[in-house]
């Protein structure tokens, strides 16, 4: 096992954490098809969000829920990577962990879909509804 690098402190730790986060985003983009698909959906829906004739509050909720989908996918991908590393052979607990991570993604996607359907219905109903 390799020696761990010396721990950074203060501002250097914050800068290092920022670059670790960028590395995580890059890794997810390069290795996770689901993350790429959800990121594409995020960027497709973003301009629609600005032109959708609904309240600012609803637009904020839509932006938040779209971001939550990406966050949950990143957490799920992290869980899957750790499970794959620690349990390369089939194990019922490994399956349980991966299935629960996947379920979290599904719930976030269903929530996003419900809010987007609500927003489209509200937009098509016109003002005052």
Among candidate residues 105, 112, 106, the one with its CA nearest the CA of residue 62: 112
Asked whether the beta carbons of 119 and 58 are under 8 A apart, the reply is yes
Place of tokens 């829906």: 45
Dihedral over alpha carbons 55, 58, 64, 70 (to 10 degrees): -110
How far is it, in rounded angstroms, from Cα 56 to Cα 76? Answer: 30
- Is residue 32 annotated as part of the catalytic site, yes or no? no
Catalytic entry in 32, 73, 80, 89: 73
How far is it, in rounded angstroms, from Cα 32 to Cα 125? Answer: 38
Asked whether the beta carbons of 101 and 84 are under 8 A apart, the reply is no
Catalytic residues: 73
């Amino acid at each position: 096992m390799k020696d761990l690098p010396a721990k950074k402190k203060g501002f250097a730790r914050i800068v290092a954490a920022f670059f670790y986060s960028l590395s995580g985003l890059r890794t997810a983009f390069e290795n996770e098809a689901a993350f790429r698909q959800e990121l594409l959906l995020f960027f497709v829906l973003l301009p629609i969000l600005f032109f959708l004739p609904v309240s600012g509050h609803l637009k904020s909720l839509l932006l938040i829920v779209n971001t939550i989908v990406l966050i949950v996918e990143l957490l799920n991908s992290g869980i899957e990577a750790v499970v794959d590393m620690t349990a390369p052979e089939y194990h019922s607990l490994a399956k349980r962990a991966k299935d629960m991570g996947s379920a979290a993604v599904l719930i976030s996607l269903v929530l996003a879909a419900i809010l987007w359907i609500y927003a489209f219905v509200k937009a098509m109903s016109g003002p005052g509804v």
